[in-house]
Structure 1
Amino acid sequence: MPLPQLLTIALAEPSPLQAQIIRHALNELGIRNVDVFHSGQALLQHLQQHTPDVVISALYLPDMTGTELVYALRAQPAHLDRPFILISSETKPHYLNPVRQAGALAILPKPFTTAQLDKALGNVLEYLNSDPMLNECDEDFSMLKVLIVDDSATSRRLIRTVLEKIGFEQIAEAEDGSEAVPLINATHFDLVVTDYNMPHMDGKQLVEYIRTQSMQFTVPILMVSSETDQRRLAAVQDAGVSAVCDKPFDTAVIRQLVRQFVAERA
């Protein structure tokens, strides 16, 4: 399992100055295995023969965006689960939400602090090092059933990977609330993980349905969403969601919440 100082990084950053700043920050954390690429295509070509632990990218590259880069990664089976970190001065949700949906493990501001970078890499390590065989507390999760509801296939894939690393084996998926309802009516689930913004039937409507119309109205519901509107999130809380996590999410937080839900149900 990777140790912090042994992490290998592939960095896509067109600015030599910014690349130097990021490399210096990584060096301060003891990470020296950093390959820098000034375009997205150069990094993708590198990945044809190398498997870095983490890909870090700026949002704007000379030949593509960081968003296009992460989706290019997700299109390749070998890099479908590759940890991805975006570093950008962009703050508008319109630009950042697609990166969140693609399963980025962290989005850092530009400029960022060493503490912010350290936290992001800590999440990467938690993700890479999670192994149900190493933690007896997680072994019972293999007997539990979980439903993932998200209109983003890449987001579902990342959540599924994290849950599998925690120890879940019986995982069903739905693209939105309307597709989830028949599954909920036909199967007893021990946990539901849902997005907020989905077509046809969003996360709030799904929570309301589960709590008021389904036979399993006590099932724990974890919402993992990029939604930032506090009024909408408050409405979801009122509808009966068990907990809300941001995208990108912290793997350790997901693990802790799932354990808490399972313990409370037991």
Structure 2
Amino acid sequence: MPLELKDLTVLLIEPSSTQSKYLLNVLSEQTIEKVDVCSTGLQALATAQKQQPDLIISTMYLDDMNAIELLKHLRQDEATQDLNFMLVSSETDMKMLDDIKQAGVLAVLPKPFDKRDLSTALNAARDTIEVDQIQLNDIDIDSLVGLIVDDSKTARRHVLKLLNACGIENTFEAENGLEAIEILKSETVDFIISDYNMPHMNGEELANYLRQSEYSYLPILMVTSEQDSSRLSAVRQAGVCALFDKTIGPASLKDALRAALNS
């Protein structure tokens, strides 16, 4: 039987009892009833380590830590490092939002949030748990090999988890464009998923290099929190197949891979 939203277990971290009740009602509308509620980061860490929920939903600011610090603790613990995380916050500081996206989150929803966006994020959480093989015309998914390029180990783990949810198990990893090129010289890959901002050689430089090399046939998907429109335009001109925010979900990644590999 396919996994349904009502099967998801959720850990809700919210110090406000009023906000907790509201979120519990919204989750109930989505048929999700298996929800544990914590008001502090330390309580959440203990609960997550013991029960390992399918999804953690947290506000940005708690009494004992913020969501960035909470995520760092979660990602450093082998028992909790791969847990799905969603932020619900009115925070507008781009630096803080970028920091939390770098840690690998399914969604960053504003307060108040659109319930349709919540539904999309919940479905993304379900998809990361239940492997749903992509249908790719004339391509054997078991033979696909991807190259993940990102200077953040946590971000690479997040992309790897999304690929695994799509049924893709064979991957190589590089911390920047230069390392990616060295891997390409010795290994055969079918697609590249790259970050934009990296030391030594960033995503745009990597895309430009590949476009003018023997690897010009490789589809490149770029996952980035970059906001500068001129930089993003330059990336598109470099031949990148698709651009995504770091909160990309399995369904969107799946569609992009299908389009890139069947083009």
| TM-score bin, normalised by smaller chain | over 0.9
* Aligned residue in 2 for 1:250: 249
* Aligned residue in 1 for 2:187: 187
Structure 1 counterpart SS, 2:172: strand
Residues 163 and 250 in structure 2, CA contact (< 8 A), matched pair in contact too: no
1:21 and 2:22 correspond? yes
- Runs of 4+ off more than 3 Å: 135-139
- CA offsets 1:203-258 (integer angstroms, 9 cap, x no match): 1001011111x211111000011112111101100111111111100210111111
Q: How many angstroms does 1:137 deviate by?
A: 4.8
1:70 and 2:71 correspond? yes
- CA offsets 1:151-183 (integer angstroms, 9 cap, x no match): 111110111122123232321100111211211
Q: Supply the distance in 2 between the matched residues of 1:86 and 1:252 (Cα, whole angstroms).
A: 19
Q: Supply the distance in 1 between the matched residues of 2:131 and 2:119 (Cα, whole angstroms).
A: 18
* Aligned residue in 1 for 2:107: 106
Residues 105 and 249 in structure 1, CA contact (< 8 A), matched pair in contact too: yes
Alpha-carbon RMSD across the aligned residues, in angstroms, is 1.7
Q: Normalized against structure 1, the TM-score is what? A: 0.93
Matches of residues 190-209 of structure 1 in structure 2 within 5 Å? 190-209=190-209
* Aligned residue in 2 for 1:41: 42
Q: Supply the distance in 2 between the matched residues of 1:142 and 1:226 (Cα, whole angstroms).
A: 30
Structure 1 counterpart SS, 2:140: helix
Structure 1 counterpart SS, 2:21: helix
Q: Which amino acid aligns with 2:176?
A: D
Matches of residues 108-127 of structure 1 in structure 2 within 5 Å? 108-127=109-128
Structure 1 counterpart SS, 2:44: helix
Q: Which amino acid aligns with 2:227?
A: T
Q: Supply the distance in 1 between the matched residues of 2:215 and 2:49 (Cα, whole angstroms).
A: 46
1:130 and 2:145 correspond? no
Matches of residues 173-184 of structure 1 in structure 2 within 5 Å? 173-184=173-184
Residues 14 and 40 in structure 2, CA contact (< 8 A), matched pair in contact too: yes
Q: How many angstroms does 1:187 deviate by?
A: 2.6
**By percentage of residues, which structure has more helix?**
1
Q: Supply the distance in 2 between the matched residues of 1:240 and 1:21 (Cα, whole angstroms).
A: 45
Q: How many angstroms does 1:6 deviate by?
A: 2.2
Structure 1 counterpart SS, 2:79: helix
Residues 195 and 223 in structure 1, CA contact (< 8 A), matched pair in contact too: yes
Q: Normalized against structure 2, the TM-score is what? A: 0.94
Q: How many angstroms does 1:136 deviate by?
A: 6.3
Q: How many angstroms does 1:3 deviate by?
A: 1.4
Larger CA deviation: 4-13 vs 135-144:
135-144
Residues 162 and 249 in structure 2, CA contact (< 8 A), matched pair in contact too: no
Percent identity of paired positions between Structure 1 and Structure 2:
40
Q: Which amino acid aligns with 1:256?
A: D
Distance 1:15 1:252, change over 3 A: same
Residues 141 and 169 in structure 1, CA contact (< 8 A), matched pair in contact too: no
Residues 165 and 250 in structure 2, CA contact (< 8 A), matched pair in contact too: no
- CA offsets 1:4-62 (integer angstroms, 9 cap, x no match): 12221111111111111111111122212211111010011112321211101111111
Structure 2 counterpart SS, 1:49: helix
Q: Give the length in aligned residue pairs.
A: 261
* Aligned residue in 2 for 1:87: 88
Q: Supply the distance in 2 between the matched residues of 1:10 and 1:105 (Cα, whole angstroms).
A: 14
Q: Supply the distance in 1 between the matched residues of 2:115 and 2:135 (Cα, whole angstroms).
A: 34
